[in-house]
Chains A and B, each alone.
Chain A
C-alpha cells in the first residue's frame, strides 16, 4: 500500500515557444488505500495525468511520489503500479492465464506462486472457467475482468484505471462498478480511476478530482463537490440536469452568478417568477424550463419537480423559491466560489 503525492505536476508537449502545456501544475495528496476518481470532460488532461503517474508519459516539471519515493525517472514496471486500460489491452494470442501471468513471468516469480496468485485472482473475479481461453473467445465484461485480474496478480501498491468501463453496456457498467467497489474494500489498494462519467465518479469515489482544461478545479469528497462546488465549471459538470447558473436572479448582487440546483427550487405561491417554456417528463420527476418573467433575457431556469405535482401550463407564470442554504454564489469574472459574507 502506498500514498500518492503530486507536486506541481506540469505536462507540456514540445519545447520553447511552440510548446503546448496541457497540465498546469496539479497538486494533490492521495492517502494510502484511498479510492480517488479523476473526472472531467474529454481533453481536460485527466488521462494524461494518470499516464504520468503510470510512467507512460514523461513529467515535464514537478514531482510524483508513490509511497514516499520519487518516481519521475522510473520505468512503469518499477513503480509498483498496475494499470487497467480502456480497451483492456489483453495480449490476443495468449490465454487468459498467460495474460495474467505475463508480468509475473517477466519478474521471474516461481511458477508455483504464479499459479497460486492467478488462481486466487481468477476466483475473486469468477474467471476460473475461462483460464484456458483466449481473449477473443470472451465477452466484453469478461475481458474487462481479465484486465483487472492482470492488475490484481501483480499485487501492486497502486491501481490505475483508465476509463475501464466505457466499453461496457449500461447494465454491465453498473455491475462492474459494484465489483470494483467490492474489490477495493477487500484489497484496500490505493486506486486512481479516470472517467468522464460523473455518475461513475460520484458512486465510486471516496474523493474526486474535477479537472478542466488541465487545471484541477476541485479535490474533495463527492458530497463536498456536490454541495459546495468550487467553481461554476464544477457546478455545471457535476449533477444532472446541471446547476442553474443565473446572472439575472432577482436578488443577485452585481458581478456575481447565483447557482441553484434544479432539485433545490420549490414551487411556491410567491417568489421568483418564471414563464414556463417547456416541460419534460422523466418518470419519477418532471423538468420545467422557464424564463425570467421580470427581465427579457434568454436565460433558462430549470426546475425539477416531483411527478405527483400538477403540470404547469406552457406560458403560465410559475413562482419558485430556492431552498435555504442551497444557493451558491460565484464570482462572474473568475467563476470561483464566493462564500456568503
Chain B
C-alpha cells in the first residue's frame, strides 16, 4: 500500500487471497478429479487431494482409448486440430489486419474512409449475429469439417485492423519521409520499418487471438461433425454424454486440464512481450 498501515496491509492481502482462491479452486478441483478413477470422482463427497491415477488418466485421454460413452476421439488429435486452428486464426488475423491498416493509413485511394468505416462497423457485429449466413456460405463452399471452414470465417478482424491503424497513426511522419528519402518504396517501408516497429503490438495481439482461437466453441460446434476435426473444446463437450451412460469425469477433467495448458503456456512465455505491447509507447 501507499500508506503504511498494518491493517490495510492485512486487508489487501486478504482480498488477494480470496481472489486467488475463487479463481484457482475450480482449476484445482479439475486437477484433483483428473487424478482419480471414475468411481472415486462421483463419490460424495469428492476427494480433495490428488489421487494416484494421474499417468493412467492422461494417457487414456490423449489416446482416446477408453470404455465410457460419448465421443472416443483422441485428445492428442484434438489438440493438434485446436493448435492449427488457433495458430491459423491468430497469424492470419495479424497478417490481414497489418496489411489493411497499412492500406488505410498510408495510401490515398477513392472511398478510403468508406472502407475504413465498413471495417469499423463489423466491430459491432459479433460472430453470433452473422452465424446463420456464414454457416450457409461455408457449407455451400464445402468447407465443413476442414481447417479452412474452422478458421477463415474467424480471421477477418476489425479489432486488429483498428488496433494497427491506431498504432500506425502514431508513427511519426518524419520516419516515413526519411524512408522516402532513403529510397524505400511502400512495401519496403512496410517490411523494413512498420512491421519491426509493430512487433510488440503483434505479440500482444497474438496472445489475445491465440486464446480467442483456442477457446472458440460455437463456430466449431456448427462446422465440425466428424470426430477427427474436433477441436479440444468441442471434444470435451462431446465426451459428456447425456442419458443413462456414465460420463467418465476423470477423463473429461484430464482433457480439460490438457486444453488449458497451451493458452496458459502462450501467456506465460509471451508475457513480457504481451505487457510491452500493451503499454509500450516508445517509438
Contact = CB atoms under 8 A, between A and B. Distances in A.
Interface of A: 54-56, 75-77, 81-83, 85-93, 102-103, 106-107, 136, 150
B182 A77 contact: yes
Contacts of A77: 180-184
Interface string B165-193: 00000001011011111111000100011
A136 B174 contact: no
B185 to A, nearest CB: 8
Nearest to B185: A106
Interface of B: 172, 174-175, 177-184, 188, 192-193, 196-197, 199, 282-283
B182 A102 contact: yes
A74 to B, nearest CB: 12
A43 B175 CA distance: 22
Contacts of B179: 91
A87 B182 contact: no
A103 B181 CA distance: 8
B174 A106 contact: no
Contacts, number: 61
20 contacts: A55-B180, A56-B177, A89-B172, A89-B174, A89-B178, A90-B178, A91-B178, A91-B179, A92-B197, A92-B282, A92-B283, A93-B193, A93-B196, A93-B197, A93-B199, A102-B184, A103-B182, A103-B183, A106-B182, A150-B178
A82 B192 CA distance: 19
Contacts of B192: 91, 102
A36 B230 CA distance: 72
A88 B199 CA distance: 22
Main secondary structure of the interface of B (DSSP, over half): helix
A136 B282 CA distance: 9
Contacts of B177: 54, 56, 76, 83, 85, 89
B176 to A, nearest CB: 9
Contacts of B197: 92-93
Scoring B172, B178, B193, B199 by chain A CB atoms within 10 A of each residue's CB, the highest score goes to B178
B175 A76 contact: no
Contacts of B199: 93
B183 A87 contact: no
A86 B175 CA distance: 11
B172 A87 contact: yes
Contacts of A107: 183
A156 to B, nearest CB: 9
B113 to A, nearest CB: 18
B188 A85 contact: no
Given A85-B174, A89-B172, A91-B193, A76 B180 contact: yes
Given A85-B174, A92-B282, A136-B282, A106 B181 contact: no
A91 B180 contact: no
Contacts of B180: 55-56, 75-77
Closest 9 CB pairs of A and B: A77-B183, A103-B182, A89-B174, A89-B178, A93-B196, A106-B183, A76-B181, A85-B174, A76-B180
A185 to B, nearest CB: 24
B172 to A, nearest CB: 7
A82 B197 CA distance: 23
Given A76-B177, A76-B180, 19 more contacts: A54-B177, A55-B180, A56-B180, A56-B181, A82-B181, A85-B174, A85-B177, A88-B174, A89-B172, A89-B175, A91-B178, A91-B179, A92-B197, A93-B193, A93-B197, A106-B182, A106-B184, A106-B188, A150-B182
